[in-house]
């Protein structure tokens, strides 16, 4: 099969590389010449484990190539996968301008009976709009489908190779069969539904997981005040098969490129239906306010942040990625600086260059210093914030940061450290909903 994947962001590159690894001829297409130049040399513009090796392997076999030319990528493609960004609008809706631009640009080069698949997260009803855009530019016959993406950053290649399920939303049998054949090597359950259900399944899955995290964070907050320990509570209720013990680690609230956006978009759909009071508005509110509430509590504990030196460990929104979108660090650091704290930070992959776009003003003013090496970090901090559960950060011997002359707090906002050990090192420990 010849496949064109439009958009070489996170989802696009992983998708293109995985399909190429099945032996298909795949074109990765993007209008960003700089990105394409890098990808042609198998350089991944972001941090994602295993991806560079997969790019090298598939490019060496000539199964994968990258281009900025719509004509080159589309004219021979049996399947075209649209994987461009769908940013939020100011009012929390979804902006489909990139999806529509793709539809218009690919139309003139479409091969007869080609299948155009929308992988980007889009609301139900989008395929009709895409159809209109394509039809306005061509008389060629084509098929449309929706193929939502469920991969996680940091484990994207593995998730794509070992998915829990493939959801195909198609309008006819031929398209179901083509997409079924494409995914057959994955040996995953294939769920065939109408396109609108496929699109809603993506929102529903993400919103449910976001709700689960919000729920456990609320329970953790009650635990903290009531003498219960959230880790014990999770271990107790996790045995209930209807609930399970996985995927609801308490913390600073969910972040990243998907959950915050998808929950807000669901809230927006409801609002458009005249229902302003809905579950998704509440989840979003609770999650958005969470870090401020934590900071108020921590501020009380350290006696205010003014002139305090804070060591921040972990900048990315989760381990194994350099993505800073909606990362806790992007909320904690500006707030702490506003409260006149001095920040020294370290992350295993987010270094000055990547951080510049988000933290530029603080780096320039000197209120934030990002060190390259763990060994460069100070032991004079008044408090340590463990913000991301990178394996190298949760396995650290924190005694290296202990300064015997003053009390120091360790705020473990991921509950990954052993409170007893942390106290033995001489720190005051605060997790999320833990008694320790």
Binding site for ligand UDX (CB under 6 A): 149-153, 206, 209, 213, 247-249, 251, 254-256, 258-259, 317-318
Shortest distance (Å) from residue 366 CB to ligand UDX: 29
Shortest distance (Å) from residue 354 CB to ligand UDX: 17
Comparing CB distances to ligand UDX, the nearer of 184 and 245 is 245
Comparing CB distances to ligand UDX, the nearer of 347 and 382 is 347
**Residue 378: in which H helix or E strand, if any?**
none
Helix ranges restricted to H, 110-194: 126-135, 156-161, 173-183
Going from the C-alpha of 138 to that of each of 111, 170, 224, the distances in angstroms are: 10, 21, 62
Shortest distance (Å) from residue 206 CB to ligand UDX: 6
Shortest distance (Å) from residue 246 CB to ligand UDX: 8
For residue 216, give every residue at least 6 positions away whose Cβ sits within 8 Å of its Cβ, in sequence order, or none: 230, 234, 248, 249, 250
Considering 3, 198, 258, 417, which one is annotated as catalytic? 258
Shortest distance (Å) from residue 237 CB to ligand UDX: 14
For residue 184, give every residue at least 6 positions away whose Cβ sits within 8 Å of its Cβ, in sequence order, or none: none
Examine the residue annotation and report whether 258 is marked as an active-site residue of this protein: yes
The strand ranges marked E within 290-354 are: 309-313, 342-346
Return d(Cα 96, Cα 31) in angstroms, integer: 17
Comparing CB distances to ligand UDX, the nearer of 30 and 153 is 153
Comparing CB distances to ligand UDX, the nearer of 222 and 245 is 245
Shortest distance (Å) from residue 149 CB to ligand UDX: 5
Output b/e per residue, 187-198; b: 16+ Cβ within 10 A.
Answer: eeebebbebbeb
Comparing CB distances to ligand UDX, the nearer of 92 and 253 is 253
Nearest to 145 by CA among 183, 185, 109, 186: 183
Comparing CB distances to ligand UDX, the nearer of 59 and 126 is 126
Output b/e per residue, 6-33; b: 16+ Cβ within 10 A.
Answer: bbbbbbbbbbbbbbbbbebbbbbbbbee
Shortest distance (Å) from residue 266 CB to ligand UDX: 14
Comparing CB distances to ligand UDX, the nearer of 27 and 254 is 254
For residue 370, give every residue at least 6 positions away whose Cβ sits within 8 Å of its Cβ, in sequence order, or none: 315, 344, 345, 346, 347, 350, 351, 352, 355, 359, 363
The sign of the dihedral angle between the CA atoms of 432, 391, 248, 421 is negative
Comparing CB distances to ligand UDX, the nearer of 152 and 416 is 152
The sign of the dihedral angle between the CA atoms of 332, 337, 341, 345 is positive
Give Cα 434 distance to the centre of its chain.
27
Token pair, residue 36, equals 């394409």
Shortest distance (Å) from residue 238 CB to ligand UDX: 12
Return d(Cα 327, Cα 345) in angstroms, integer: 14
What is the secondary structure of 206-255 as a DSSP string? HHHHHHHHHHHHHHHHHHHHHT--HHHHHHHHTTSTTT-SSS---SS---
Token pair, residue 326, equals 């909606």
Interior angle at CA 317, CA 21 and CA 256, nearest 5: 70
Q: What amino acid positions are annotated as catalytic residues?
A: 258
């Amino acid at each position: 099969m010849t496949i064109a994947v439009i958009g070489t962001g996170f989802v696009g590159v992983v998708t293109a590389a995985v399909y190429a690894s099945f032996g298909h001829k795949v074109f990765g297409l993007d209008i960003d010449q700089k990105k394409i130049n890098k990808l042609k040399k198998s350089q991944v513009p972001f941090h994602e484990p295993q991806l560079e090796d997969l790019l090298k392997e598939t490019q060496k076999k000539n199964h994968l190539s990258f281009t900025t030319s719509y004509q080159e990528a589309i004219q021979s493609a049996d399947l075209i996968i649209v994987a461009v960004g769908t940013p939020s609008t100011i009012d929390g809706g979804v902006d489909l301008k990139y999806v529509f631009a793709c539809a218009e640009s690919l139309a003139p080069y479409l091969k007869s009976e080609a299948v155009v698949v929308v992988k980007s997260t889009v609301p139900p009803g989008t395929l009709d709009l895409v159809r209109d855009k394509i039809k306005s530019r061509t008389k060629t016959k084509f098929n449309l489908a929706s193929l939502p993406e469920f991969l996680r950053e940091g484990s994207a290649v593995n998730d794509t190779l070992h998915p829990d399920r493939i959801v195909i939303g198609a309008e006819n049998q031929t398209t179901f069969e083509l997409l079924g054949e494409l995914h057959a090597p994955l040996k995953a359950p294939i769920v065939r539904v109408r396109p609108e259900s496929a699109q809603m399944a993506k929102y529903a899955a993400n919103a449910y997981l976001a709700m689960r995290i919000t729920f456990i964070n609320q329970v953790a907050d009650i635990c903290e005040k009531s003498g219960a320990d959230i880790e014990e509570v999770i271990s107790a209720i996790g045995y209930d098969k209807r609930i399970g013990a996985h995927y609801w680690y308490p913390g600073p609230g969910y972040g990243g490129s998907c959950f915050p956006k998808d929950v807000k978009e669901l809230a927006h759909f409801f609002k458009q239906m005249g229902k302003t009071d809905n579950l998704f508005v509440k989840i979003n509110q609770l999650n958005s306010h969470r870090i401020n509430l934590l900071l108020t509590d921590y501020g009380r504990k350290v006696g205010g942040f003014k002139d305090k030196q804070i060591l921040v460990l972990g900048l990315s929104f989760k381990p194994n990625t350099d993505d800073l979108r909606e990362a806790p660090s992007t909320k904690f650091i500006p707030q702490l600086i506003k409260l006149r704290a001095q920040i020294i930070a370290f992350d295993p992959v987010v270094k000055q260059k990547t951080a510049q776009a988000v933290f530029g003003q603080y780096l320039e003013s000197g209120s934030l210093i990002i060190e390259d090496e763990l060994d460069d970090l100070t032991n004079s901090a008044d408090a340590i914030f463990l913000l991301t559960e990178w394996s190298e950060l949760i396995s650290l011997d924190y005694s290296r940061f202990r300064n015997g002359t003053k009390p120091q707090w360790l705020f473990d906002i991921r509950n990954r450290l052993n409170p007893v050990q942390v106290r033995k090192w001489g720190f005051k420990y605060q997790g999320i909903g833990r008694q320790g």
